[in-house]
């Protein structure tokens, strides 16, 4: 393994952390300043375009996440407008808030954000609906699979009738 490869890690957990902070209302410029990542490194991580990142950048984001995920942007000098802009952009992109993750899941590539406690199931989809949350992708998939099964079942039932 080359030195460069050793210094690179999958970007997923870093992306989850940055997106969760954006959902809270931390603006990109502030995240750049806090993490020390220049925008051309930060942006691909924030949007999920980057599949890998430098290990030191992942560590910097993890340290900043611990601090900012329990802080209030408004109480830390972020303007109301900047926070709202960050929240709206993150919301439109469907990014998951810190509450959807815990210490174990945020670093687990196979984990999905838990908006409902039952995400990835039809029950989870029902909780999204009950609470007025937009469907997350795993719940939308679960609902879609259920509808396909129901349609197949209905088709069989019709054939046998």
d(CA 141, CA 122): 9
Q: Provide the minimum distance between the beta carbon of 19 and Zn ion in the complex, in angstroms, as a whole number.
A: 16
Q: Provide the minimum distance between the beta carbon of 116 and Zn ion in the complex, in angstroms, as a whole number.
A: 5
**Window of 7-15, 84-92, 99-107, 109-117 that interacts with Zn ion by CB under 5 A:** 109-117
SS3 53: strand
Q: Is 26 in the site for Zn ion (CB under 5 A)?
A: no
Q: Which residues, numbered 110-149, are part of the site for Zn ion (CB under 5 A)?
A: 115, 119, 124, 136, 139
- CB atoms near residue 37 (< 10 Å): 23
Question: Would you give the distance in Å from CA 56 to the centre of its chain?
Answer: 21
Q: Which residue number, 36 or 134, has a Cβ lying nearer to Zn ion?
A: 134
Q: Which residue number, 45 or 143, has a Cβ lying nearer to Zn ion?
A: 143
Q: Which residue number, 22 or 136, has a Cβ lying nearer to Zn ion?
A: 136
d(CA 141, CA 157): 24
DSSP summary character for residue 52:
E
Q: Which residue number, 41 or 118, has a Cβ lying nearer to Zn ion?
A: 118
Q: How many residues bind Zn ion (CB under 5 A)?
A: 5
Using CB atoms within 10 Å of the CB of residue 111, give its burial: 0 to 12 exposed, 13 to 18 middle, 19+ buried: middle
Q: Which residue number, 58 or 119, has a Cβ lying nearer to Zn ion?
A: 119
d(CA 114, CA 92): 18
| Interacting residues with Zn ion (CB under 5 A) | 115, 119, 124, 136, 139
């Amino acid at each position: 393994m080359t030195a460069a490869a050793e210094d690179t890690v999958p970007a997923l957990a870093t992306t989850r952390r940055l997106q969760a902070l954006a959902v809270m209302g931390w603006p990109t410029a502030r995240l750049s300043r806090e993490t020390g990542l220049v925008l051309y490194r930060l942006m691909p991580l924030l949007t999920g375009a980057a599949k890998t990142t430098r290990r030191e950048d992942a560590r910097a984001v993890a340290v900043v996440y611990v601090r900012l995920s329990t802080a209030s942007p408004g109480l830390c000098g972020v303007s109301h407008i900047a926070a709202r802009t960050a929240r709206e952009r993150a919301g439109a992109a469907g990014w998951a808030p810190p509450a959807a993750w815990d210490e174990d899941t945020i670093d687990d590539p196979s984990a999905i954000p838990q908006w409902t406690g039952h995400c990835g199931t039809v029950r989870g989809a029902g909780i999204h609906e009950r609470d007025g949350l937009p469907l997350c992708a795993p719940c939308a998939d679960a609902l879609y699979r259920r509808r396909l099964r129901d349609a197949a079942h209905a088709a069989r039932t019709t054939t046998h009738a």
